[in-house]
Structure 1
Amino acid sequence: MTGSEASPSFKLAYVPGVTPAKWVRIWNERLPDVPLTLVAVSVAEAFDVLRGGGADAGFVRLPVDRTDLSAIPLYTETTVVVVPKDHVVAAVDQVSTDDLADDIVLHPLDDTLGWERLPGQPAIERPATTEDAVDLVAAGIGVLVVPQSLARLHHRKDLTYRPVTDAPESRVALSWPEEKTTDLVEDFIGIVRGRTVNSTRGRAPAPAPAEPKAKAKRPETSGGGRRKPAAGKSTGRNPRSGGSGGAKGTKRGKPRRGRS
């Protein structure tokens, strides 16, 4: 793994339809000293941006060329058909591709679904972008089948959308150059996968070493090896006796009176 401590920032690419705000917020909370810069890219240019160093990692749409790129699939989107609000499809909850057989189905050049066979009737020409295709739908030229996030991204008040039950689905993944799996990339992978800040694969600071416990002091001893009594405690000797360790004092009797 290549260290990334010298990197001044982390660049994150994302394709249309992906909303990285949640992950960016967590990054800013955990790594406030490492600015995260967002790089908006089209589906077509996303992988070239990653390979060329324009971003450290990116949210892309599968498939990913695993020759030199790593990828972690994140989620699969619902596929919907975008139609005018007065279209017959707007009256139902969901449709199949067979229900679109009589419609002109637009197929933009930046399509992300990878159709084997496009449903409906083909348009005279393909729109350049999904946004252009949405404008054509609004003009009554045809309908458009896209991932739900793109339908939301290009939402218009005069259009609506419904799920298509048997259409191909688009999967979103986090991808990065395999040879550049830096510490910061690992940090972002942890955030996307929901690891906590204390995860063993995170970069949380190591806990401070515990201070050694103080050793209990042994009572001081006199030269003869006996323990020195604590202040205020009696030794058990009579303080009126003479020398230390001497015989106990004898009891004095009353003095005798002399005879007169």
Structure 2
Amino acid sequence: MPYEDREDPAVRFERVTKRYGDRTVLDGLDLEVGRGERVTLIGPSGSGKTTILRLLMTLERVTDGVIHVDGRPFSHMPGGPGGKLVPASERHLATHRRRIGMVFQQFNLFPHMSVLENVVEAPVHVLGESREDAGRRARDLLDLVGLGDRADARPTRLSGGQQQRVAIARALAMRPEILLLDEVTSALDPELVAEVLDVLRDIARSTDITLLCVTHEMGFARDVSDRILMFDRGRIVESGPADELLESPTHERTRAFLGSVR
């Protein structure tokens, strides 16, 4: 039986601050994302949105505060006097970040491997799956993203939209409970954006995966989100159901931002 209390949120930020020198990117952030909830983060560049994803992927370390995943400390672990939390070891982070997958702005596919091999590699080497089992699941995932017929192709033979769909399949192959999406269409030509967003909409509809997304695509945010959070200067300035926040924002900063991206 899993160790966590199933009533706990999938992700909880507890007074999390992130600084780079004198610059504060996240300022005492309190944030909860429920299991199976789809939350989109919007706001101007530099407002802290992507930093949240990078902290969850352990690409950055918190300055202050604690991140919890599935009811257990993630950024920290017991180890101090009386069980006091201390910064997590690399081993602790490696163990627990397996629950989390991320699709980046850039595709980062291995050019010398086929599409199928790109999807199979991590489940075999990280999860310890047999190559046969990982291959079967990879083919199912490539079918899911509409690329079952390109399994043997090299990434360089694919369009940008197709490469991003392979990256989505690769992330799902790790069986994440939480999927992070960081501006996944920003590197694509406009005519390729729709095909990637359609795949993500299908995933949101057909799975119970927890989704945390950073995007400037407001139509996509409306379609997939249970809740949208507006960030500015490292803080949440407004939060609400997708339709409500996009149609009737109450904060002047939210209204100004939405006016700039529509």
| Higher strand fraction (1 or 2) | 2
Structure with bigger gyration radius = 1
The two structures have a TM-score, normalised by structure 1, of 0.25
| Higher helix fraction (1 or 2) | 2
The two structures have a TM-score, normalised by structure 2, of 0.25
